[in-house]
């Protein structure tokens, strides 16, 4: 998976590559889908949510340029796979999942694998995690119409955020670096994520 889907497409961060070699992606899927765990595609995890394509996981993670001392906020725990990748690279990860059943399963997986540097919460991710802010990096694993202002406020000066921005069916993956209180944006390419549902993103009534 790493050689054919990630390195071959230009990912070069050795720490990210090693994390993706180390973490068993199949353990974050239900038994029926484990044979497809290392395919170059997103896969369903229930509740109309998905585990992201391995290349997209690598791209988002590499773009954050994580250091071992960083504190990271993840919005959209999902299966917990991306959470585990972040936990391998950063000092502390705070991860929010709005779907309770997914949050519970992800927490169980992370505990079984021994990730003690991850805090999880079942709540609306558009509010962020104010009491743990500021963050060195924020990763949003859902497509949003814009970047929620509370997340920008919770990002440190010089911090990085990666978020898919667009409509409900297609987005552009955006990297923002906070400079003098605002985000300097760059485009990482087209992508497709499930909608970011919350008070400051998409409404749940159209799910």
- Model pTM above 0.95: yes
Q: Which residues are catalytic?
A: 52
For β-strands 43-46 and 182-191, DSSP reports them as: unpaired
pLDDT digits (tens, 9 = 90+) for 138-164: 999 999 999 999 999 999 999 999 999
Rounded CA separation 116/113 (Å): 9
Mean pLDDT of 185-206: 94
pLDDT digits (tens, 9 = 90+) for 68-91: 999 999 999 999 999 999 999 999
Question: Are 81 and 28 within 8 A, CB to CB?
Answer: yes
Report pLDDT for 206.
62
Q: Where is 15: in which H helix or E strand?
A: helix 14-22
Burial tier of 172 (Cβ tally within 10 Å: 0-12, 13-18, 19+): middle
For β-strands 43-46 and 118-121, DSSP reports them as: unpaired
- Kindly list the structural domains of the chain, giving each domain's residue range(s) and its CATH number in brackets, ordered by start: 2-206 (3.40.50.150)
């Amino acid at each position: 998976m790493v050689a054919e889907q990630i390195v071959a497409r230009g990912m070069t961060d050795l720490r990210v590559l090693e994390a993706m070699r180390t973490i068993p992606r199949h353990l974050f899927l239900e038994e029926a889908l484990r044979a497809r765990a290392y395919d170059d595609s997103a896969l369903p995890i229930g509740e109309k949510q998905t585990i992201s394509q391995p290349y997209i996981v690598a791209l988002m993670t590499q773009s954050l340029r994580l250091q071992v001392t960083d504190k990271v906020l993840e919005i959209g725990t999902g299966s917990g796979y991306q959470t585990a990748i972040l936990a391998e690279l950063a000092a502390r990860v705070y991860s929010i999942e709005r779907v309770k059943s997914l949050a519970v399963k992800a927490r169980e997986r992370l505990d079984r694998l021994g990730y003690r540097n991850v805090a999880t919460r079942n709540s609306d991710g558009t509010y962020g995690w104010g009491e743990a802010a500021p963050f060195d990096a924020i990763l949003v694993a859902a497509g949003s119409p814009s970047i929620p202002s509370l997340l920008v406020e919770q990002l440190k000066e010089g911090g990085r955020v990666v978020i898919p921005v667009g409509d409900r069916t297609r987005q552009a993956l955006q990297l923002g670096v906070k400079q003098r209180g605002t985000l300097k944006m760059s485009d990482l390419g087209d992508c497709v994520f499930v909608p970011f549902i919350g008070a400051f993103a998409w409404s749940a009534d159209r799910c």
